[in-house]
Each structure stands twice: as structure tokens, then as C-alpha cells.
Amino acid sequence: MAERSYFDWNATTPLRPQAAAALQAALAVSGNPSSVHAEGRAARALVERAREAVAALVGARPGDVFFTASGTEANMLALTPALETATERRPRDRLLISAIEHSSVRSGGRFASDATADVAVDADGRVDLAALEQAVRGAKRPLVSIMLANNETGVVQPVAEAAAIVHAAGGLLHVDAVQGAGRVLCDIGALGADLMTLSAHKIGGAKGAGALVRRSEDIHIADPLIRGGGQERGMRAGTENVAGIAAFGAAATAAQRAVADEAPRLRALRDALEAGLRAISPEAVIFGAAAERLPNTTLFGVEGLKAETAVIAFDLEGIAVSSGAACSSGKVQPSHVLAAMGLAPALTRGAVRVSLGWTTTPADVEHFLAAWRKLATALSKGPGIAA
Ligand code: PLP
């Protein structure tokens, strides 16, 4: 089989070699991190080393990192009315979430649906700060959730500006940094986040590990999602996924070291891909192109294209991309992100997401463009891959 080109890094990344080595080594450590004997202490040491590495990635203290089984779980843990600070123990009365959040945030966590409201985004896919200001004014003790970067468009959100608005209104800010961490600067203090979600498998770790990070010990979740043995200082019961956590730590360190080199290289490759795309299909629309975006992400649409069919056609050409539309239980739904940006379904039905990562080469970009040239020619000739 010809070489494949993987362009779906926002769905998941391959393991970084350092993470694979850490995973392998940790599998040989048999102890339970809660046990006091030598075997247990060896496992505990792996978990605590990883906690330091994950904390370092986002400029937090290790004691403020709580491991979970996924980014989804960390989002669910964070989004609760029982989020307290040292000076405010009354329940959060309102959850405000941007209209482009991942479905795990869109679910509203543990807030009642009538206590949850959306904050609009502009046509470029950035949170509308005036709408945020108005929304926080209508709440007493809001919790606001805004992602660092969107998983579909890659648009980086004005998180620090949003934090200033939220805090001025007595609110707290949760930031889903699953797509931004390891790709753009992600410092919990500089961003002004009170809580931050991370996921291992988006930065080169293994699937099945995530973390919720808090700004300081001033932030407290009074109703942990999973109770039992008191692991993770009572915030998340259940014996730790030692190998997954060790790999997460190794991936965090590698990502932190690599980001300064990787970001400009990926941006250059992504820009070359977009230039090629526009040359072949001048009518193609690159969503969010006017905003600051992750260096690795392109989401584009062409009227008449059906994204699910395009994904299959690309796959047959040896290329893994994804459709911009979220696919749940086998049914392709229109993208809520593109709908929130006010885009017409005729265009968004054909949204294809191309996301790059550290193994992507110029040859992969050429491979993609050759495949797109074929698809675009087929599209211009008739219904084949059209909607
Ligand atoms: N948040 C964002 C922005 C994501 O893109 C994803 C995964 O696609 C998640 C949360 C969920 O992370 P996990 O796959 O670890 O549950």
C-alpha cells in the first residue's frame, strides 16, 4: 500500500516517542500508587513526576493538577454549580458557554439546562466579548466556559480578555485547552483561567488520560464527579491509570520543548496547503481565516461538496482528514460551530478539516493537494462527491 498521510491531528495524535517509552516503562511498574510499600511508591513516583510535567506545560503548581480519564471527564468535573472559592461558597447560579464549545462542554456538565446560556461568536468564529459582557451582567455568580482554540476551525479565542470581563463581574472562568495546549502559548496565569482542561491524546500522549488544572488552591470543587477511595486528593476516585499518566507527563514535556520549533514549521506547511487549495479551487472558503488560528488547522468548504463523501474519497487516496460536521451515533449533524458563525448549510455541508502535526512533511502536503485536484475535477464534472 502506498504511504498514507495523516491529517487528522485534532481528532488524535500519534504517541510521541518519549510518551511511548514512558508508557512501556510504566507498564512494568506493578504497584498501586496508593500503597505504601516499595512497589506502590514506585508507581506513585511516576504519577507525581507526570503531575510536575503537566503542571509545567501550563505554568501551574503540581498540587493544582488532578488527573482524570479524559478531557471530557475533566470538563464534566469542572462544570458544576458547586465550584467554590475561599471567599464565595454559594452555588454558581449560571453557566455561560460559548456557542462553539466541544460537545462535552455544550452538555452543560452538572448545571440544569435552564441555568445554562450561550454566548455568541462573530463571523470569524471568535467569542463576542460584548455579548459576554452582557451575559455576565445578567448573573450573580456565573461560571463561564470558553475554549482556548476551537477543534474545528482552529480559531484561537480571546481568553485573557474574556477572563478580565468574567472576573470583573465576580465570575469564574473555565478554559477547555484540549486543542490549544502544546500548540500555542497556554499559561493558566497569563490566560486568567480559574480552571483548565487538558487531554493527553491531543499532545502526543495515550488515549484515556486527561487533567483538570486549577489556578490555585483557592478554587475548590465541592462535589467531585467520582467518589470512592479518595485518590487525586479526593477530586477523582479510582486507581490511577499509571501508564497513561506517565505517558501524559512525557508528552507534556516533549510538547513544551517542541512547540517553539513546531509551530512555525506547521504554520508554513499549513499556509502552503491553503495556497495550493486556493490555486486549485479559488471558490473554496477557509473558515476563520481572518482570525488568529492554531498553526496546524485548516477547515475549508466548497459549495456542492458533501463532506462525508469527500472524507471517504480522500481515504481512498491514502489521506486521513475529517468532516467539519460532528458525527454522533452514525448520523452526520451540521456543524454547530459553523452554524454559530452564521454560515449557510449549502457551504458548511462540505466542510473538510485538515489538521497537521509533528510528522507532517511537505510531501504529505503535496499528496493532499494531488488528491484534492482529483476530487475537485470530479466535483466540477458532476454529482459523484457532490451533495
Ligand atoms: N475538548 C475539545 C476542544 C476537544 O477537541 C476534545 C476532543 O476532541 C475534547 C474536549 C474531549 O477530549 P477527550 O477525547 O480526552 O475526552
Question: Is 153 inside a domain boundary?
Answer: yes
Residues 290 and 248 in one domain: no
Going from the C-alpha of 176 to that of each of 30, 78, 270, 299, 358, the distances in angstroms are: 33, 10, 24, 20, 22
Residues 172 and 291 in one domain: no
State what percent of residues in the chain have pLDDT above 70.
Answer: 96
Ligand 1 centroid – CA 160 distance (Å): 21
Is pLDDT at 168 greater than 90 in this prediction? yes
Q: Please answer whether residues 256 and 186 qualify as being in contact, where contact means their C-beta atoms are separated by less than 8 angstroms.
A: no
pLDDT score, position 380: 84
User: Once rounded to an integer, what is the mean pLDDT over residues 60-71?
Assistant: 98
Residue type, 13: T
Q: Report the nearest-CA residue for atom 5 of ligand 1.
A: 151
Question: Is 369 inside a domain boundary?
Answer: yes
Is pLDDT at 386 greater than 60 in this prediction? no
The helix/strand/coil state of 166 is helix
Question: Is 170 inside a domain boundary?
Answer: yes
The count of structural domains within the chain is 2
Q: Report the nearest-CA residue for atom 12 of ligand 1.
A: 71
Is pLDDT at 199 greater than 90 in this prediction? yes
Q: Report the nearest-CA residue for atom 7 of ligand 1.
A: 11
Question: Is 234 inside a domain boundary?
Answer: yes
pLDDT score, position 46: 98
**Residue 1 confidence class, pLDDT cut points 50, 70, 90:** very low
Higher pLDDT, 274 or 333: 274
Residues 193 and 154 in one domain: yes
Residues 249 and 263 in one domain: no
Question: Is 386 inside a domain boundary?
Answer: no
**Residue 294 confidence class, pLDDT cut points 50, 70, 90:** very high
Residues 113 and 242 in one domain: yes
Of 73, 153, 155, 179, the residue with max ligand 1 atoms within 8 A of its CB, to mutate for a pocket test, comes to 179
Give me the residues paired with residue 173 across strands.
144
Query: Which range is least confidently modeled, 20-29, 351-360, 376-385?
Result: 376-385
Q: Please answer whether residues 219 and 66 qualify as being in contact, where contact means their C-beta atoms are separated by less than 8 angstroms.
A: no
User: Once rounded to an integer, what is the mean pLDDT over residues 9-35?
Assistant: 98
* Residues catalogued as catalytic: 327
Indicate which CATH number applies to the domain containing 33. Answer: 3.40.640.10
Ligand 1 centroid – CA 18 distance (Å): 22
Question: Is 197 inside a domain boundary?
Answer: yes
Ligand 1 centroid – CA 300 distance (Å): 21
Radius of gyration over every alpha carbon of the chain, rounded to an integer in angstroms: 21
Helix (H) or strand (E) holding 362: helix 362-381
Residues 104 and 234 in one domain: yes
Residues 356 and 244 in one domain: no
pLDDT score, position 299: 98
Ligand 1 centroid – CA 56 distance (Å): 21
Give 81's contacts (C-beta < 8 A, 6+ positions apart).
91, 92, 93, 95, 110, 111, 115, 143
Ligand 1 centroid – CA 12 distance (Å): 9
**Residue 358 confidence class, pLDDT cut points 50, 70, 90:** very high
Is pLDDT at 324 greater than 80 in this prediction? no
pLDDT score, position 108: 97
Domain that holds residue 325: 5-13+259-381
Q: Please answer whether residues 141 and 170 qualify as being in contact, where contact means their C-beta atoms are separated by less than 8 angstroms.
A: yes
CA distance 55 to 187: 10
Last residue of a domain, one of 253, 288, 304: 253
Q: Please answer whether residues 100 and 336 qualify as being in contact, where contact means their C-beta atoms are separated by less than 8 angstroms.
A: yes
Is pLDDT at 375 greater than 90 in this prediction? yes
Residues 189 and 288 in one domain: no
pLDDT digits (tens, 9 = 90+) for 96-140: 999 999 999 999 999 999 999 999 999 999 999 999 999 999 999
Is pLDDT at 325 greater than 80 in this prediction? no
Ligand 1 atom at shortest distance from the alpha carbon of 200: 15
The helix/strand/coil state of 193 is coil
Ligand 1 atom at shortest distance from the alpha carbon of 147: 3
Last residue of a domain, one of 221, 253, 285: 253
Other residues' Cβ atoms within 10 Å of the Cβ of residue 92: 22
Question: Is 387 inside a domain boundary?
Answer: no
| Phi, psi at 362, each rounded to 5° | -60, -30
Going from the C-alpha of 142 to that of each of 64, 92, 94, 188, 200, the distances in angstroms are: 22, 6, 5, 19, 28
Is pLDDT at 150 greater than 80 in this prediction? yes
Of 54, 178, 299, the residue with max ligand 1 atoms within 8 A of its CB, to mutate for a pocket test, comes to 178
Residues 74 and 167 in one domain: yes
Cβ < 6 A, ligand 1 pocket = 70-72, 102, 104, 147, 151, 176, 178-179, 199, 210
Residues 308 and 359 in one domain: yes
Question: Is 340 inside a domain boundary?
Answer: yes
pLDDT score, position 10: 97
Last residue of a domain, one of 253, 271, 290: 253
Ligand 1 centroid – CA 329 distance (Å): 17
Q: What is the DSSP string of 52-79?
A: HHHHHHTT--GGGEEEES-HHHHHHHH-
pLDDT digits (tens, 9 = 90+) for 202-224: 999 999 999 999 999 999 999 99
Of 8, 70, 97, 104, the residue with max ligand 1 atoms within 8 A of its CB, to mutate for a pocket test, comes to 104
CA distance 258 to 200: 16
Residues 141 and 176 in one domain: yes
pLDDT score, position 385: 54
Residues 186 and 288 in one domain: no
Indicate which CATH number applies to the domain containing 376. Answer: 3.90.1150.10
**Residue 143 confidence class, pLDDT cut points 50, 70, 90:** very high
